[in-house]
Amino acid sequence: MKPPDWSRARRIATRAEASALDHPLRSRLLMACVRDERSLTELAHDLGAPLAKLHYHLAPLLGCGLLTVSRVEPRAGRAVRYYRAVAESFLISLADMAEAPGARFGRELRQSLDDRGNRANLSLLHYLDENGRGDVRLIDPEEGRAARRAFEYWKVLPLTREQRQSLAVEIDALIRRYETAGAGQGGELFLVHAAFAPKARDVSR
């Protein structure tokens, strides 16, 4: 039997619920139980995590009501419990999260970018722009002689509202194009991060 609010998005309304979703494995665990009920053994196979670890992370999700036991299948020894998410999707305010969703990936990306091996083929070019102001650009002096393993690009841009919207659409389309093109072709996994936000005027150095 489906939970009563199955067809609706569940709005995360309490700190306990937000805390339960803070851990990336718990988020994956919950979403794995959205379409179908899953046993702990099935979840371990799907998520590639040990049974004991998954059992530990089940408790907060069950405790705050985001996950429910949909049925119990009797068998010799210990009965098999099946779990189901209480909704098809979940809405959570970023203000209620202890850490922004991209923070963990951000730390991993920064660590990789700071690796000396990934910085070896890049240089900072200091120059004057057309208005006579100093500027800095990240460049590859070898320009295509070797496959670039890491790249970081920063630019301060004056953007109107329409330009911001256009830039967001173009960036999304570009990333999706490569996501589609690379599907099923194997290759090394790379973190790709694109972001823009209003520049803070007073930044501590």
What pLDDT band is residue 120 in, cutting at 50, 70 and 90?
A: low
Domain ranges in the chain are 9-95, 111-153, 157-198
pLDDT, position 13:
80
**DSSP secondary structure, 90-153, as one string:** EE--GGG-SS-TTHHHHHHHHHHHH-HHHHTT-EEEEEE-TTS-EEEEEE-TTTTSS-------
pLDDT, position 5:
46
pLDDT, position 24:
79
| pLDDT tens-digit series, residues 80-115 | 999 999 988 888 777 666 666 677 778 888 888 777
In whole numbers, what is the pLDDT of the chain averaged over residues?
A: 80
Q: Which CATH class is domain 9-95?
A: mainly alpha
pLDDT, position 183:
60
pLDDT, position 4:
46
| pLDDT tens-digit series, residues 121-162 | 666 677 787 877 777 766 666 655 455 667 777 888 889 999
User: pTM, whole model, 2 decimals?
Assistant: 0.52
5-14, 19-28, 159-168: least confident range: 5-14
pLDDT, position 140:
66
Of 123, 122, 6, 115, nearest in space to 66 by CA = 6
Q: Tell me the mean pLDDT in the region 170-193.
A: 80
Which residues lie below 8 Å from residue 2, measured CB to CB, with a gap of 6+?
A: 84
How far apart, in Å, are the Cα atoms of 32 and each of 8, 38, 91, 168?
A: 17, 8, 16, 29
Q: Tell me the mean pLDDT in the region 69-77.
A: 88
